[in-house]
Structure 1
């Protein structure tokens, strides 16, 4: 997605971030800034630095960070499950802290699962799954980005939750060795290339933002073809507030946590 944006907007600067700098950065207008997006404290340091040196506002914020593990609840030094820290809490913190840098008509795209999330699938008494953890529940709970999405989408900025579908990426290499060959075999039949996935999601986000502006809607859930997901569950004000309160209590508490 970063490469596609960089090639189409060659007068703009595209910043990519992660734990490891790519060996090859293919476009001259791309720059790398290190970030461990599993750590709330590192995210806060990163965003504080970014805001202090960023001269121009951001048109686009894309978050694709993810991890493919089948282990049970495994906590970070800050006390959050690793999968949930990367898939949900860290993304919310990045959005909150980078909000002042976003243009009024910017787009925010979170790539995870904008297709299947539903408030009825949550354990409302254990939102961080301290006592009811399973891989399925963790995936469902990380999808409650949609609740925050509805809260954020109150002005011209458009928030998109995107389901990428099956993609031929290196993520499958994180699986245990005995599952990799099966996953790659299945992926070769149904998965698309990262470039096709990027095209679908970026085009879909742009089209949904344009349509949403006409409709007065500033958030969208899209599928792997970039199409708007119809009949998506709408979160009530009470549900959105509970998710938001829980999110910031967890995130802000994690930043104060002593490892």
Structure 2
């Protein structure tokens, strides 16, 4: 069966490794390249990789800090997909490692780190849901380990007033946790209404220490320390990709049997147990806030 995927953040690091693994699996399909039945992987980011190792990989440029660019990107992608070309995977690994304070995106006014780590990911899910298969896997790679409702400032969710680096990380962790449960609940309701047995599975993954090039965005005096630390304790991007993809498949299968369509997984791909279950009211507040921020950014001129 053909495998199709979109990997945002797929031009380097973990995302690139995940894209290459999915592309290698998709390339085993015997259908001719370019036919509706042939598998393909779209990788997206700001800069095209120098090496695209599989013929079924395609690069599409995207600045994932911009909500308007994301909307244009998803509209074009949905328009280009032919009948029978729904997506098996939506994988989002875009991120940044920086010690800079609040840095708002031009015109849209969203902190760049939060745009990459949270808001843009949720907009991608919302806009691409119609293009996803009924049993698609949606994977957010950020930090599915440490998020908690108790870490949110409910009166300042976008941290316009109370910004700090650790607080921004806490909010992105927690809100991504919340939204995988929100999306799973939304999909469950839709599946039940249509009397369908299959359902999409939403994952928030913690990659752990991975030896990538993200440290290059740190101040010059911190780069050697970060590089040395990642070299000592970090796994390769390919090892991380294998663990997260295998873990997603295993958790989706087990979750389906349990009636659970969301998972938080660790760096080995194992289900993180005892994660907080968000209330309907909490999910509604986070979702409403999210759409208020991203929709205002989309129409900003």
Instruction: Give your verdict on TM over 0.5.
Output: yes
Aligned to 1:177, what secondary structure does the other structure show?
coil
Which residue in 1 is equivalent to 2:14?
A: none
Partners of 2:50 and 2:235 in 1: CA distance: 23
Partners of 2:81 and 2:46 in 1: CA distance: 20
Which residue in 1 is equivalent to 2:279?
A: 236
Deviation at 1:27, TM superposition (A): 0.5
Which residue in 2 is equivalent to 1:115?
A: 145
Partners of 1:241 and 1:121 in 2: CA distance: 17
Q: Say whether the 8 Å CA contact 1:168–1:192 is kept in structure 2.
A: yes
Partners of 2:134 and 2:124 in 1: CA distance: 17
Partners of 2:151 and 2:262 in 1: CA distance: 21
Partners of 2:71 and 2:81 in 1: CA distance: 15
Deviation at 1:257, TM superposition (A): 2.0
Partners of 1:186 and 1:25 in 2: CA distance: 28
Please give the per-residue CA displacement for 1:146-166, whole angstroms capped at 9, x wherever unaligned: 111111113310000000001
Q: Which runs of 5+ in 2 are unaligned?
A: 1-17, 30-38, 189-198
Which residue in 2 is equivalent to 1:141?
A: 171
Partners of 2:68 and 2:26 in 1: CA distance: 32
Which residue in 2 is equivalent to 1:182?
A: 225
Which residue in 1 is equivalent to 2:246?
A: 203
Partners of 1:253 and 1:160 in 2: CA distance: 27
Partners of 1:187 and 1:103 in 2: CA distance: 36
Trace 1:1-259 onto structure 2 (pairs within 5 A). 1-10=18-27, 11=29, 12-55=39-82, 56-77=85-106, 78-143=108-173, 144-153=175-184, 154-155=187-188, 156-258=199-301
Deviation at 1:251, TM superposition (A): 0.4
Partners of 1:58 and 1:187 in 2: CA distance: 33
Q: Say whether the 8 Å CA contact 1:79–1:257 is kept in structure 2.
A: no
Aligned to 2:240, what secondary structure does the other structure show?
helix
Deviation at 1:227, TM superposition (A): 0.3
Q: Say whether the 8 Å CA contact 1:126–1:132 is kept in structure 2.
A: yes
Please give the per-residue CA displacement for 1:13-68, whole angstroms capped at 9, x wherever unaligned: 01100111111100011011111110000000000000001111000110000011
Deviation at 1:233, TM superposition (A): 1.1
What TM-score do you get using the length of structure 1 for normalisation? 0.98
Which deviates more, 139-148 or 214-223? Answer: 139-148
Q: Say whether the 8 Å CA contact 1:204–1:222 is kept in structure 2.
A: yes
Please give the per-residue CA displacement for 1:236-255, whole angstroms capped at 9, x wherever unaligned: 11111100000000000111
Partners of 1:218 and 1:172 in 2: CA distance: 34
Structure 1 ranges of 4+ moved more than 3 A: none
Paired residues in the alignment total 258
Which deviates more, 179-188 or 129-138? Answer: 179-188
